[in-house]
Structure 1
Amino acid sequence: MIKLNVKDAAIRVLIIESLLDQADNDTASLLSQGIDSEWVENLRNLSSRDALRASHFQNVTMEVTLNEKQLSHAFAQAADERRVRQLKEYFVRHGASVSMICKMFKMSSKEAKAAKQLLLSEQRLGRPPMPSPYEREDIHDSWDKIVKTNQNSPIREKIVLLHKIFPSHTLATLWLVINEFEPFGNQGMATKNDQSSQQGTKWDGGSCVHKLVNLSKRTTSNIS
């Protein structure tokens, strides 16, 4: 526990006002601390002028007790909330789709659309264009490295790191690229991509050669 000796006159006034409010509205709390009922009654009858004057008497010790563990937790929570707000704005300003924003921040589509309308004067509709096959190869390689070196980070933080490398593309475009080999029903999950490797996926010119799990053969899908 941390004890602070309060010297500031304005804070001392607030402390006495809080004490008087408790005497009026929560007498039981004061009595449970062993305070004499007559003293509590005197508080209730104290004039505001006398209470204000008494707060300036420095010979009256006023201390505030703080729980440092709870305070540290509160500081960390405030920092996390600020970071989430910053990430939301980053995602909106850099072209994340509504569905992507909903998934990353557990927002409703209505909230995500409202955020985009608030922060963007104009919005491009439709599916974003895909980069060339060779650039997609670079994006996949960078994504693999980010996933390996930031295993404990949330996926939204990893996507921001990817966008720092490829700032010319929107977040929606990068999201489509890192999910392009997912089954249609799992689009937007990035589950296989968000592992230590992409299960042996490699590129061969303009085509992508997949090493299929539990199968000995390879299938090749042409990418235009």
Structure 2
Amino acid sequence: MLPLHDAHVRLALLNHIAVRLGGQDAQELRAAGIENELLEHLQRLSAADLHRLAAMREPMFAVSVDADRLKAGLRALAVTNEAKAQETYFIRHGASWTMMKKLFKVRHKLTLQRRRELGVHRLAGRLTLPEPATRERIWRIWAAITDTSPRARYYQLHQAFPDLSLEVLEIVVAEFEKDRYVAPANPVPRSPAWQRENEQHAKWHPQPSPI
């Protein structure tokens, strides 16, 4: 048991007991070890008397800790804080509102509000995508990430391309996911879009025949 010496904490507990008495919770208070005579006496005390009682030196309250429930609460808190940190990271690094809705279940208006709070500004108009070679590298790294969590995959992908916004990476990934293609001579997945943009470099130009 952990004794409570702080007068403010004691007063809060005494006020809590008084409220519970007013709410007809005397049975639960008796189950906690408070006798009927004490409950009746506490119920008759004025606010000033409760303050004086709480300020007395003799410890009258102690708490016990449920270690298992405390551990469970700490784990839940860690998960909540991690999710909040991930949400902030994605917004800071240019995630689209559709990505925030898909990965975090965050509504459009809330995404806009969080952007304003974090001072994040999205440029108007169509985004400029990187050149084909960079897009190919993005797809290679995306395909190599083994984590099954979409949040974790996009986070790792952005770590590899920190100069690009998450919205740009989302567009490039969506392009390759939509048009995946495996060339027979190359086991690395390539998209038709990449093939079209690079086919001019892959064409064979025959040498002129000697006369």
- Asked if these proteins are the same fold (TM beyond 0.5), I'd say yes
1:67 counterpart letter in structure 2: D
Q: CA deviation at 1:87?
A: 2.0
The equivalent of 2:139 in structure 1 is 140
Distance 2:171 2:139 in 1: 11
SS state of the match for residue 11, structure 2? helix
Q: CA deviation at 1:41?
A: 1.6
The equivalent of 1:4 in structure 2 is 2
2:152 counterpart letter in structure 1: E
Q: Do the aligned partners of 1:102 and 1:108 also contact (CA within 8 Å) in 2?
A: yes
C-alpha RMSD of the superposition: 2.8
Identity of aligned residues (%): 26
The equivalent of 2:26 in structure 1 is 27
The equivalent of 2:13 in structure 1 is 15
SS state of the match for residue 177, structure 2? coil
Distance 1:183 1:144 in 2: 13
The equivalent of 2:88 in structure 1 is 89
Distance 2:191 2:102 in 1: 29
The equivalent of 1:119 in structure 2 is 118
Q: Do the aligned partners of 2:5 and 2:59 also contact (CA within 8 Å) in 1?
A: no
TM-score (norm 1): 0.71
Q: Which one has a larger percent strand, Structure 1 or Structure 2?
A: 1
Distance 2:109 2:117 in 1: 12
Unpaired runs of at least 5, structure 1: 185-191, 193-199, 211-219
Larger of the two Rg values belongs to structure: 2
The equivalent of 1:173 in structure 2 is 168
Unpaired runs of at least 5, structure 2: 181-185, 199-211
Q: Which one has a larger percent helix, Structure 1 or Structure 2?
A: 2
Q: Is 2:44 aligned against 1:45?
A: yes
SS state of the match for residue 53, structure 1? helix
TM-score (norm 2): 0.75
Q: Is 2:196 aligned against 1:202?
A: no
Q: Do the aligned partners of 2:3 and 2:59 also contact (CA within 8 Å) in 1?
A: no
* Count of matched residue pairs: 191
Displaced runs of 4 or more, over 4 A: 32-35
